[in-house]
Structure 1
């Protein structure tokens, strides 16, 4: 089930909690001793930085699929993802903050540099006055080079794609009723977000069943997958589910969804709603399930989200959600900028993002 460790860091006692969360997540991901130690070190440094510099800071620790996964090679090993999110004050010089020796508090300034060295991936996004997202991933081994690619360079879109997401459990619960995952089959990539009805363990059981079904059925079209999910989720509470499938050879994205899940596609500077049908997968499936099909290109960015985001949420401009950013960073920015301690979420919240890989990532 989608276990999430949410660790607010208002005082120094929570730094230990962050380390323990990373160790528990590493055990769940099957990491060995050295990689577990690396995850624990990164979590400790991220929590310490939140304590020193952040406003309304928290650390999210999850076991997630890696952001790059070759098609047709089975399910990749999960990784431990640690995301430090805060609402300010922001870092004026992000490049300098990555280097050892940089400090504004009189410390040795090794924190973020340590994270960069110990993690398989480390990403930092900060805007003065708005806050910072620092995200690190640690897996069992160093990440395998290469993301999902199409074969023919003459086709409409042949770049790599990456997927990522973040989940915030309702009221700091141990389990989230939301889950996201992605799977590859041949030249198709399928991204799915499932929101189990309600929250807690039973909601998590429904969304977990959806993820398991996705990985057994990645070759199905979105409509076919939703029909199979409807059967798989019977006997659970059911879930709202959004499915987006990218055909890398054709450069086409197909979408189909059931229930209160949101999907927005950015095409250059504009956003398009991808609409879901009313219903609950596993309880009440609509008779007809029309798919939306659109072109995919290097300037596209897809955001799937559960109803934990405010109903009036509107995507920000391109500067706030840069296409070249790591997809999980984009997801974390979306969650952060739609909530605060003054307006807590009323349900589990998950955002999953599919984006072209930046040119410097093979």
Structure 2
């Protein structure tokens, strides 16, 4: 079962906890020593920034796949470090990202150095709402999708996963797999929380990787068989046919899905049931057009069902999908309104034009 980390940062003693978590995550990702040190540096700087700029926040660490779905990267894991706060925001992000600009009493690295050190970096800040800073650290020599494979598809994927009450394991999981010109994104919410819920969602992830060539409705039947000896899970599966420009979706249980085209959002409906325990006799499969301005959000029920997409998802289509996911989570919760369950949010978005993801 994959480990996830959530570290509240409200005083300087927790900065060390973030650094230790980053080292643990980098070790589990089997990063070489220089990249392990990079993960520690970036995590420490992001945690320090939370204290200096926002009076505190939290750092989320997870092992994720590359944001650009590609062949041959199923076993490749990057350390994703996300710092989230509800502070005043960054007034001048261009200056904050400049190399050499750093807060007093920090390591002197600064966000610009964090960006340059990372294999992927994203920053978004809204005055009065807060800031999300995200960095991914991996093997610098690894180039997902290189070799005798088809060219990259014009989409990116990212997400965040938060365990309930700082637990070691989240009962939620998300994953993305590419087969030919199809990209399949799945989110599974194991019943309850803790290790047994994580076992169910992990079984769903494994089963998806074994059968990602199937359409969503058939995938859910395959997952149903794979999860019979677990607690079961709510599962949402979205599959994008890049060539045809069509998105197919099927879901069972209370995993949520919303699709945006232009300025309009609408929900994709799942059927009642539990994958692994009670599967509906008929699984409806939605078909929706996918356009260059489309955005898909899958989420577990730890996120309020009536969450507001907010300005991040509506007005910033060029953000990294993991930053969008973290912004959705930030805006749906606060210290006074914490999440009440394991919570995962996964986002499928278009790639940036004329540049790698």
| Range of TM-score over shorter length | over 0.9
Within 5 Å, give how 1:121-200 maps onto structure 2. Answer: 121-142=120-141, 144=143, 160-200=154-194
The SS at the match of 1:132 is strand
Partner of 2:61: 61
1:269·1:317 contact (CA, 8 Å) conserved in 2? no
**TM alignment of 1:18-167, pairs within 5 A:** 18-70=18-70, 72-73=71-72, 75=74, 77-103=76-102, 105=104, 110-142=109-141, 144=143, 160-167=154-161
Unmatched tracts of structure 1, length 5 or more: 153-157
SS of the aligned residue for 2:303 comes to coil
Q: Aligned pair in 2 of structure 1 residues 251, 195: CA closer, same or farther (>3 Å)?
A: same
CA shift, 1:317, in A, is 4.4
1:142 and 1:247 map into 2 onto residues whose CA distance is 30
1:349 is displaced (CA, Å) by 0.6
Q: Does 1:248 align with 2:242?
A: yes
Residue in structure 1 matching 2:278, options 275, 284, 294: 284
Please say if residues 157 and 347 of structure 2, whose CA atoms lie closer than 8 Å, have aligned partners that are also in contact.
yes
Q: Out of 203, 217, 226, which is 2:197 matched to? A: 203
- The 8 Å contact of residues 54 and 86 in structure 1, kept in 2 or not, is answered as yes
Residue deviations 1:258-307, cap 9 Å, x none?
Answer: 00011000010000110000000001000000100011110000000000
Residue 56 of structure 1: CA displacement? Answer: 4.3
Partners of 1:104 and 1:40 lie apart in 2 by 18
| Separation (CA, whole Å) in 2 of partners of 1:17 and 1:253 | 41
Q: What is the TM-score with the length of structure 2 in the denominator?
A: 0.94
Partners of 2:122 and 2:293 in 1: CA distance: 21
Q: Between Structure 1 and Structure 2, how many residues are aligned?
A: 354
- Identify if the C-alpha distance between structure 1 residues 143 and 135 changes in structure 2 by more than 3 Å, giving closer, same or farther: farther
- Whole-Å separation in 1 of the counterparts to 2:105 and 2:162: 33
Shift of 1:218: 1.0
Say if 1:18 and 1:43, in contact at 8 Å, map to a contact too.
yes
Partner of 1:261: 255
Change (3 A) 1:151 1:55: same
Choose from 251, 268, 271 the match for 2:265. 271
Distance in 2 (CA, whole Å) between partners of 1:111 and 1:317 is 27
Deviation of 1:116 after TM superposition, in Å, equals 1.4
Is 1:358 matched with 2:357? no
Deviates more, 1:75-84 or 1:261-270: 75-84
CA distance change for structure 1 residues 235 and 104 in 2, over 3 Å: closer, same or farther?
A: closer
For residue 314 of structure 1, report the CA deviation from its aligned partner.
2.9
Displacement of 1:131 in angstroms is: 0.8
In the TM superposition, residue 145 of structure 1 has moved relative to its aligned partner by 7.2
Q: Which runs of 5+ in 2 are unaligned?
A: none
Whole-Å Cα distance in 1 between the matches of residues 291 and 191 of structure 2? 34
Quickly say closer, same or farther: Cα 1:230–1:86, change in 2 above 3 A.
same
RMSD of Structure 2 on Structure 1 (CA): 2.0
